[in-house]
A and B are shown apart, each in its own frame.
Chain A
């Protein structure tokens, strides 16, 4: 058998799951869709003494759309979110990002919350959560608390979640009317983790200039990062080739990407500039001047 031995727990409720996480602490891993954790188990790169399978637990919310935005339960399968009319209407950037994760069979099991809590620095959903200022709601023994995406990702595969906490849902603010969006990535093969990725949202004001631009990058640091310098270049500008080119340049200057066997730091910096330019071009093209 490939995975190392562990004690398997199948809690029937979220509260029971949290109690198990609290009881076993660092020795314990929660199992969501398993599309990242099970490979790590199969490689024996992860050797938890206890596995808490969240798939049997009641208490995780589904997908809810309302005036305060879109709320997606942590255990919602990626494929379900991708096909959900609420998500398609309420967060088109997320739909595009989901389509870049693995392959359909992976997304049939993989969950929205699992991908965010796993916090692979090259993964799409953490970057999207950051771009959209998502709020991540976790439950621990003391109850629920909310962490902004900007404070949630703290390093390689590392989040603000405590060992006894479980991500319960992802709250996304209302989609700004008329906002354009795009996510662009370069990967060795379709479905692979990104060598680098850029997610962008562009909102226009009544005059057709940029009211607000948001750019988040994956694969360039130990966590997803916002390209704030690029955002500042665009604010108040006409979203044309000049401003977009300057913003893309700023995005590439502002990062210190890693070198690995998939690409050198210089290559990643080049790729980021190209991806940010493409993402902003596409987002600006989709953006509508508010009526």
Chain B
């Protein structure tokens, strides 16, 4: 007997999408398997590592701790939705320039979290960055280069705002 499925409609990176999934499927798995957006990485699958962080109605959340069916009607932004038309978002460019990643596994979660942080708080301190990013684990960089990347992005966004 096959498991019952549910139809779920939501906006993903600005486009209306519809999937038919089992109720128990996490949003992370729906994003990767049903939407084909494999930029969202699945690490610990119990809410500790932050690699699967996406925006749901603007808020960074763990997509492994939400069911896909719970996101019905929501506006979802994954790492694929951060860049403009072929141009990296300032957060992404600053991560690139600051060597804010090595293996890259945690990067999507950091980019999404930093993106939301800079949107909500354009003027920030290193302490703000560390507090907000505390829920994302990186096993390569030692974090300093990630913090540098977010601070560099903040500076560039501020400068861009002044022009």
Which residues of A approach B to under 8 Å, CB–CB?
A: 1-8, 10, 34-35, 38-39, 41-43, 51, 53, 55, 79, 102-106, 108-109, 190-191
A105 and B24 within 8 A (CB): no
- Chain B: interface secondary structure? mixed
Subset of 26 A-B contacts with CB under 8 Å: A1-B25, A2-B45, A3-B24, A3-B26, A3-B67, A5-B22, A6-B23, A6-B24, A7-B23, A34-B66, A34-B67, A35-B62, A38-B65, A39-B47, A39-B65, A55-B70, A102-B47, A103-B135, A103-B136, A105-B62, A105-B135, A106-B65, A106-B135, A108-B60, A191-B134, A191-B135
Residues of B within 8 A of A53 (CB): 67, 69-70
Q: Give Cα A2–Cα B22 distance, bound, in whole angstroms.
A: 12
Contacts known (A3-B26, A8-B6, A8-B69); A105 close to B45, Cβ less than 8 A: no
Residues of B within 8 A of A41 (CB): 24
Residues of B within 8 A of A2 (CB): 26, 29, 45
**Pair count A-B, CB < 8 A:** 88
Asked if B132 CB lies within 8 Å of chain A CBs, one says yes
Residues of A within 8 A of B94 (CB): none
Cβ contacts B63-99/A at 8 Å (1 or 0 each): 0111101100000000000000000000000000000
Chain B interface bracket (under 10, 10 to 19, 20 to 34, 35 or more): 20 to 34
CB distance from B62 to the nearest CB of A (A): 6
Residues of A within 8 A of B50 (CB): 103, 105
CB distance from A101 to the nearest CB of B (A): 11
Closest to A39 in B: B46
